[in-house]
Homo-oligomer: A and B are copies of this chain.
Amino acid sequence: MRSIAVVGATGAVGRIVLEELAKRSFPYEELKLLASARSAGQKVIYGGIERTVELLSPQAFEGVDLVIASTPDEVAAEFVPWAVDRGAVVVDESAYFRMKPDVPLVIPEVNSHAISRHRGIIASPNCSTTQMVVALKPIYDAVGIRRVVVSTYQAVSGAGASGPQELEQSLAACQNNQTFQPSVFAHPIAFNLIPQIGSEKRDGFTSEEMKMVAETHKILEDDSIAIHATCVRVPVMVGHSEMIYVETRDPVGFNDLRELFRHAPGVTLVDNLQDKEYPMPLGCQGKDDVFVGRVRVDLFNPRAFSFWCVSDNLRKGAATNAVQIAERLVAQVARV
């Protein structure tokens, strides 16, 4: 790739995209940072060099080969065609293109084969989907999956950079016995839980819950898996956690499960209850892996088990996965 552009470069995820590109010595000749009018003109330090963020416009994509984008859905809907029309390949983290039939939805550890089917756009899944599917993939391959019941415990940073700010403000109001009028979340989040992420989608399920169903089906190319998701916002800054209950096609054993997780790409097993060792949001922040622990076979069904899964929602849930897709894309282009 000669020229790459990072769109949404000033956002919480965009900044980590830049950090990951530097950490991985991602190859390029030219790097453009783009953002909408509100952020254009800002300075960002990348690889020790200060760069100015340029305005997102059709002309900005002239000569660009690869775009990594993290923007709201409505922004993606507008600018992605500008880039594709000018010959760029876009790795897009928004939800807008994920379910389009000709757009591959990719987690590199799970379905990198789908990358080559792209027609200019490759989508990166929702944060809560990505960490679940990374962990489920070795199970799916080994013993099959009939059903998944998942409850999430999602960090406020999933709502963007304003989420952590609002948690701080909400906490300060509590500590000063003041009432707090939330703007990012529908209710105060300090010392509270909000069992709604996204809007109502169908039959009482939210858009976030239905993403976990539809995206998992698309990534695993298997609509037969029965998935039941409940998504809950918790007063944690960074790191989504999930309790995942799985009914398998074949029986599973405790030791086999641990071996599957131990050798799964992108997964780190942390599972020693006696020594109080298991994944927690605080310990997973800033790390690229998906962390798995509390593995337990169902006491009443030898074809079912559960586990606890934590990952940094801004990294593997967003920036890291997009940069990993871009790396595979570069490797495929290099091979041709």
- Majority SS at the chain A contact face: mixed
- Residue A280, interface by CB 8 Å: yes
Please, which residues of chain B bring their CB within 8 A of the CB of A204?
254, 273, 294-297
- Residue A249, interface by CB 8 Å: no
CA distance A91 to B196 in the complex (A): 38
Number of interface residues of A (CB under 8 A): 53
Which of B234, B254, B299 lies in contact with A193, CB distance below 8 A?
Answer: B234
CA distance A173 to B188 in the complex (A): 22
- Tell me if B228 and A245 are in contact (CB < 8 A): yes
Residue of B nearest to A271 (CB): B204
CA distance A193 to B278 in the complex (A): 11
Best-buried of A153, A193, A235 by chain B (most CB within 10 Å)? A193
Given A204-B295, A206-B273, A254-B204, residue A280 in contact with residue B230 (CB < 8 A): no
- Residue A103, interface by CB 8 Å: no
- Residue A161, interface by CB 8 Å: no
- Tell me if B234 and A308 are in contact (CB < 8 A): no
- Residue A192, interface by CB 8 Å: yes
Please, which residues of chain B bring their CB within 8 A of the CB of A298?
226, 228
CA distance A234 to B149 in the complex (A): 20
- Residue A232, interface by CB 8 Å: yes
The segment from A59-67, A117-125, A236-244 that touches chain B is: A236-244
Closest 4 CB pairs of A and B: A226-B300, A151-B151, A204-B296, A151-B243
29 pairs, CB–CB < 8 Å, chain A vs chain B: A149-B149, A153-B232, A171-B171, A187-B276, A191-B235, A191-B281, A193-B236, A193-B280, A195-B243, A195-B278, A195-B294, A196-B276, A196-B278, A196-B294, A200-B274, A203-B297, A204-B254, A204-B294, A213-B299, A226-B299, A226-B301, A227-B300, A228-B298, A228-B300, A228-B306, A230-B306, A232-B308, A234-B235, A243-B243
A171-B171, A228-B306 are known; give 19 further A-B pairs, CB within 8 A. Answer: A147-B301, A149-B149, A153-B193, A187-B276, A191-B236, A191-B237, A192-B280, A192-B281, A193-B280, A195-B279, A195-B308, A196-B294, A203-B297, A203-B299, A226-B301, A228-B296, A228-B300, A230-B308, A232-B243
